[in-house]
Amino acid sequence: MTGDLPRILKPPTSGEAEKIISRDIELMSRSCKRMFPIVVKKVEGSIILDINDNAYIDFTGGFGMLPLGGQHPEVVKAVKSRLDSSMIVPSSLYSEDTVELAEELTRIAPIRGDVRILLHDSFSETVDVAARAVRWYSGKHIILAFTGGYHGSTEEALMLSASPRIRKSPARILDVIYAVGRDCVDCLVGLDPERCRGECLRFSRELVEAAAPDDLAAIILEPISLEAPAPPPTSYMEALRTLAKDLGGLLVINEKFTAPARTGRWFALDHWNFKADVVCLGEQLASGLPLGVLMAREEILDMEPLNHKYCGGCALSVSAALATLRVIRDEGLVERSGRVGRNILKRVGELANKLSWRAHGMGMLIGIRPVGANKRSNEIIARTIVDECFRVGLLLWRIGATILITPALNSGEEILERGLEILEEKVIEISRRSRASAT
């Protein structure tokens, strides 16, 4: 039953948890950042149980990696079956699960023409190979990336992630042009979405034409950014397509956090009937197991064997991905994500309007953020809300001043209702507190 959830019985760092956390701090790299002091005992559905028997409602969806929540029976069954038969299938040999996964993906891929699939062991590897493939195919070198984007943490992927928060690396910037990313909440040129004609892309055009007019291999971007999950208007996507065509570049779309089904369609691109040249998918496809999938037009992935990172795709991850796609299809979770997401956004939007905040999103990828104060103050407010929600048993995540709501696509109605009640209570409480302290 969910009536007694969330449940906080003891401080999460008490008892054995304190010892485990201390050992982790002593041994693990400081780059392994833990967002909450929780020592996990079990993750089931949208509930995370720690070793002190505290039960948390997970509104992060495993921080964007668990579209079905934890331990979905069909995913567990598929992984166990693969484990019993052959945990490892060398990628130099054939696998029926791999072929079936490729068939499932090519049926729904938002890509023009015939589609080819290439599997890797992480999303970041997939972005690396995508960059190599578009350069190989086009014979050009420059890739246009946008500020605020996140495309992974290996060297090439990191260089495409035009965010100072992410790109603190000694690696050198090679063959990448950074343009100011869109912000459909605070438009760069002062237009509202109804009047948008992709005017902000004019700056991108000028940058490329000035620096490398005949050498653009591709444009890479996320259809919806986690930093400001306001979907772009159709006119922006049309302008993006025109920009790529005029500059002779391919379109590489990063759907790590938006697919499968997170936005109420299989892919976020489907909302605009938009066809890309290359699409990159990540671990969400495999219910959190390590996997990267590169989908592209056939001719783009027609590279000579071994002219890229070695083919990957752990057999366990492939089986999990196949099961995840089938569960989403069979349980109608694409439609449910859109329907439930609209209800959540309506409710969160009403809360935001009361406080003169902003709420945006698509499907079950929703963000709410304070406005009006300076950037640093807004981030402190958002962080305080996330911390206070954690103390009473609700897990949320944030990027900057944006509090993200990304529960599992199959989260129960009672769980969603209870989580939203807690969020509303804490947002109102902390908003009032911050206003009082400012006077």
pLDDT digits (tens, 9 = 90+) for 245-274: 999 999 999 999 999 999 999 999 999 999
Beta carbons of 79 and 296 less than 8 angstroms apart? no
Beta carbons of 313 and 82 less than 8 angstroms apart? no
Q: Specify the CATH architecture of the domain 74-330.
A: 3-Layer(aba) Sandwich (3.40)
In CATH, the number for domain 16-64+333-438 is 3.90.1150.10
Place 172 in a pLDDT band, splitting at 50, 70 and 90. Answer: very low
3-state secondary structure of 78: helix
pTM, rounded to two decimals: 0.94
Query: pLDDT over 70 for what percent of the chain?
Result: 94
Beta carbons of 344 and 416 less than 8 angstroms apart? yes
Beta carbons of 405 and 367 less than 8 angstroms apart? yes
pLDDT per position as a tens digit, 202-233: 889 999 999 988 999 999 999 998 888 889 99
Residue at token pair 């991905």: 321
Report the mean per-residue pLDDT for the chain. Answer: 92
**In the prediction, which pLDDT does 310 show?**
55
pLDDT per position as a tens digit, 1-44: 466 999 999 999 999 999 999 999 999 998 888 999 999 999 99
Is residue 348 scored above 80 in pLDDT? yes
Quick one: tokens of 101? 């996964």
Tallying the residues shown for the chain, one arrives at 439
- Could you tell me where in the chain the CATH 3.90.1150.10 domains are found? 16-64+333-438
Is residue 188 scored above 80 in pLDDT? no
Q: Give the C-alpha distances (Å, rounded to integers) separating 83 from 13, 77, 87, 99.
A: 34, 10, 5, 18
Place 409 in a pLDDT band, splitting at 50, 70 and 90. Answer: very high
Is residue 96 scored above 50 in pLDDT? yes
pLDDT per position as a tens digit, 357-397: 999 999 999 999 999 778 899 999 999 999 999 999 999 99
Is residue 167 scored above 70 in pLDDT? no
Beta carbons of 359 and 348 less than 8 angstroms apart? yes
- Could you tell me where in the chain the CATH 3.40.640.10 domains are found? 74-330
What's the rounded Cα separation, in Å, for the pair 390 and 72? 24
Is residue 168 scored above 60 in pLDDT? no
What's the rounded Cα separation, in Å, for the pair 378 and 439? 16
